Amino acid sequence: MIIITGGAGFIGSAMLWELNRNGEENIIVVDDLGSTTTEKWRNLSSLNFSDFIPKDLFPELLERNALKEISAIIHMGANSSTTETDADHLMTNNFGYSKKIASYCMAHDVRFIYASSAATYGDGSNAYNDRIEGLNALRPLNMYGYSKHLFDRWAVKQHILDHAAGLKFFNVYGPNEYHKGDMSSVVYKAFHQIREKGSLSLFLSHRPDYLEGEQLRDFIYVRDCTRIMVWMLEKPSVTGLFNVGTGTARSFNDLAKATFSALGRQPAINYMPMPETLRDKYQYYTCADVTKLRSAGFSEAFTSIEDGIQEYVQQYLASDSPYFDSLQAS
């Protein structure tokens, strides 16, 4: 049995779809569905799994050893808001909760794969290298990033990462992120803005070394993320921290043009000042060093933003059935 925490969320439900696609349905989803206004439940509506456990009950069930024959826990559940100001909540929800799951997995020899974040790298001045030796030099720019960084450091000290895999996700986009609101991807926001206004607004550059819209990110399609995780499930000897990005930085202008193209429209891009509250926390460049992932044996090609955005826009965002569906798995 495989357990996915955050299984109704963005990457978690995409992983559930990927496992369905590989013929796996003996899966327990752990999550908090929240209010019906978010419609997070829709991420699960067309997928197959054996049971659902509320997030708050899960640690107790692990402590009582009430769940049997668990082969892996894929821990994607977290508050992923980079603007969250409740530090105590993040410490409890992201750090403390993760420690309980990791400790259980180590005590019961259960494969443990968990979501870290590229937000742990801060402004990137210490590079985007996933070597554990450089972990203590990282300085996250927000509390979310710090909560993830703190768990990474704890996992190293407790030798968890000698047996588990932590994934530093970069800028992920794709189906089933519709409930995320302000935390949804730029692609999702761009699609809706273009449809509503016919144009797209991007942030002005406030640094002389970057032209307008030429700020760079490592954008990765969610289906590439799930392929990596399935590969890691099949390779339990692959352990440690790994960047999950494409290894290629692309500009917001590139992303905008790909979105306009997927909609069959000519680019119409405006540039607006960045809010002052973001300027000292804004990353002008992110790019995953995927040397470690490649050296571990993952050799599949990554999806370009042109191909990923075209599929996302045309097959999902512009579709009457925008969610991952188990019927697609075949």
Distance, CA of 127 to chain centre: 20
Query: Domain limits of the chain?
Result: 2-175+219-245+287-302
Burial class (CB in 10 A: 0-12, 13-18, 19+), 197: exposed
In this predicted structure, what is the pLDDT of residue 329? 53
Three-class SS of 36-76: CCCCHHHHCCCCCCCEEEEHHHHHHHHHCCCCCCCCEEEEC
Tens digit of pLDDT at every position of the chain (330 positions): 999 999 999 999 999 999 999 999 999 999 999 876 678 999 999 999 999 999 999 999 999 999 999 999 999 999 888 888 899 999 999 999 999 999 999 999 999 999 999 999 998 888 999 999 989 999 998 999 999 999 999 999 999 999 999 999 999 999 999 999 889 999 999 999 999 999 999 999 999 999 999 999 999 999 999 999 999 999 999 999 999 999 999 999 999 999 999 999 999 999 999 998 888 778 899 999 999 999 999 999 999 999 999 999 999 999 988 999 987 754
| E strand residue ranges, the chain | 2-5, 27-31, 51-54, 72-75, 111-117, 165-169, 171-173, 200-203, 216-217, 219-221, 240-244, 250-251, 269-272
CA 242, 246, 250, 253 dihedral sign is negative
- How many contiguous H segments (helices) and E segments (strands) does the chain have? 11, 13
In this predicted structure, what is the pLDDT of residue 107? 97
Residue of 180, 189, 235, 281 with catalytic role = 180
Domain 2-175+219-245+287-302 has CATH 3.40.50.720: yes
In this predicted structure, what is the pLDDT of residue 119? 93
In this predicted structure, what is the pLDDT of residue 280? 79
Answer yes or no: 148 catalytic.
Answer: no
Q: What is the DSSP string of 130-149?
A: --GGGGGG---SSHHHHHHH
Residue of 144, 188, 312, 323 with catalytic role = 144
In this predicted structure, what is the pLDDT of residue 126? 86
Answer yes or no: 282 catalytic.
Answer: no
Q: pLDDT, tens digit, for every residue of 97-141? A: 999 999 999 999 999 999 999 999 998 888 999 999 989 999 998
Which position has the token pair 């995780």?
229
- The amino acid present at 147, given as its one-letter code, is S
